[in-house]
Amino acid sequence: MENRKVAFSGVFWKFGERFAAQGVSIVVSIVLARLLSPEEYGIIPLTTIFISLCNAFVTSGFGSALIQKKDADDLDYSSCFYTSLGVSILLYGVMFFAAPYIAAFYEVPVLTAVVRVLSLRLPLSAISTVQHAYVSKHYLFKKFFLSTLLGTVVSGVVGIYMAYHGFGVWALVAQELIINVMDKIVLFITVKWRPKLCYSWEREKKLLSYGWKLLASALLNTGYNELRGLIIGKKYTTADLAFYNKGKSFPEMIGVNVEGPINAVLFPLMSNAQNNVSVVKEMTRKSIRIGSYAMAPLLFGLAAVAPTLVPVLFTEKWNPCVVYMQILCFVNLFYPIHTANLQAIKALGRSDLFLKLEITKKVVGLVVLLASIPFGVFWMVASMIVTTIAACFINAYPNRKLLGYSYTEQFKDLFPGFAMAFVMGSLVYPLQYLPIHGIAILAMQVVLGTIIYLIFSLVFKIDSFFYLWDILKGFLPKKK
């Protein structure tokens, strides 16, 4: 019962954090997309692969190792803190001197200064890595709500102000940095943990024996995920890259903000129950059921309304991103089955298996990506459908033995949400052809889609609906 309360509270605050922050982010992105050109928007993603790879060195592995270790103490936390900070300073130096070569590679001179400024994210990330692990391990998710929301609001205001006054790409740079700075300041004030003047290489080695495999997995995953953007930015134009990034932003936002909070809470709980396989299996199943039930209508709905949504929000200059948005809605549909299986494997201490899965998926994905390059940006994006379906089978394979969770059971848990959402999307899609204003069409599509999905949930007695409804009622004020 106690775990149930902790899970409810954690998921509540994580959802609150993500949705409040993303609500502000959506408004900010709409305003910035109207103020800036696709060419300006496309400059920041050119730096992403390089900074993200360095950031993976700083953040990946250490935090998960601290969460997974049941008896982590101040010596473990402080050792990780100093190691992360040292690595981040070294990597910032690498990026500072590599900046002119990155600018020359893309033939975009302004990238030299942009890379040097944006790379300041690395030491900032090192400062918060252990704070985030401490918050997650102790289920203090309300702290994330405060830091993320405040950072998003302040950075959004500054970004819009700078874009309106003609700062161009530097408005996006400032927004990116300020949200990181504010996150660290608020966590420093609200989280009691402080680094101690102590360090143990022996402790660090034990954590690294688990964490290095997750680090290698994160590097593979980050490098592969950003490779498409690198190729599009080099082979095509910054506008093409901007359309691709804008197209994936909304589907990824749904994936991160619906499934992310569930798994942020799920991993610590699974780690604490790692000796009870049946409990871990039930948590994994529940994550897939609830995640797919919540995400499927949002993604099918987004794909259906995309032709109306994009010109209404961003103006018609962004219409080329519609088809990418629709493809990536399908790709992100399988996010619950990916993350739930991987979280279970991590919680059971099998970081070696986690790394093997990442290597296998990236080899498959790289072959498919390379085969698609000669056919243009559209096919490079469409090829992600093949790789995500392959990844479903690869991620689910180990848990057939580790948890006794078969392919049939996993896809049966996915099916109800997928089927209802597909029918819902098919019914609202044709409304775009009505001869009325786009805003009115969009409102009709959203309202009708919501009603249809809720009716299906009640008629077919979907257990995830009633489970989520019970959670919601638990947070409503009770009658005296």
List of residues 6+ apart from 343 with CB closer than 8 A = 263, 266, 267, 270, 284, 287
Name the percent of the chain lying above pLDDT 90.
24
Task: Concatenate the DSSP letters of all residues of 89-123 into one string.
Answer: HHHHHHHHHHHHHHHHHHT-TTHHHHHHHHTTHHH
Rounded Cα–Cα distance for residues 211 and 72 (Å): 14
Is 44 part of a structural domain of the chain? no
Place of tokens 């995500």: 388
- Assign 474 a pLDDT band (cuts: 50, 70, 90): low
For residues 251 and 305, give the distance between their C-alpha atoms in angstroms, rounded to a whole number. Answer: 12
**23 domain residue, yes or no:** no
Burial 384-423 (b: 16+ CB within 10 A, else e): bebbbeebbebbbebbeebbebeeebbeebbebbbebbbe
- The answer, yes or no, to whether residue 310 has pLDDT greater than 60, is yes
- Low-confidence winner among 111-120, 261-270, 303-312 (lowest mean pLDDT): 261-270
First-to-last alpha carbon distance for the chain, in angstroms, is 23
| Greatest mean pLDDT range, 35-49, 52-66, 181-195, 329-343 | 329-343
Domain count, the chain: 1
Q: Which two tokens stand for residue 10?
A: 């954690």
Question: 95 in a domain, yes or no?
Answer: no
DSSP 3-state of 349:
coil
| pLDDT at residue 28, rounded to an integer | 79
In a domain, 451, yes or no: yes
pLDDT confidence tier of residue 443, bands split at 50, 70 and 90: very high
Residue 100 lies inside a defined structural domain of this protein: no
Structural domain contains residue 61: no
* pLDDT for the residue 479: 58
Q: What is the mean pLDDT of residues 9-28?
A: 61
In residues, how long is the chain?
A: 480
The answer to whether residue 53 sits within a structural domain is no
Report whether 301 contacts 428 (CB < 8 A): yes
Residue 362 lies in a domain: yes
What is the span of the domain harbouring residue 451? Answer: 236-475
pLDDT tens, residue by residue, 45-86: 888 778 877 877 776 656 666 666 666 777 877 888 888 888
Average pLDDT over the chain, rounded to whole?
Answer: 81
Residue with tokens 């201490």: 349
Instruction: Please tell me whether the overall predicted TM-score, pTM, comes out greater than 0.75 for this model.
Output: no
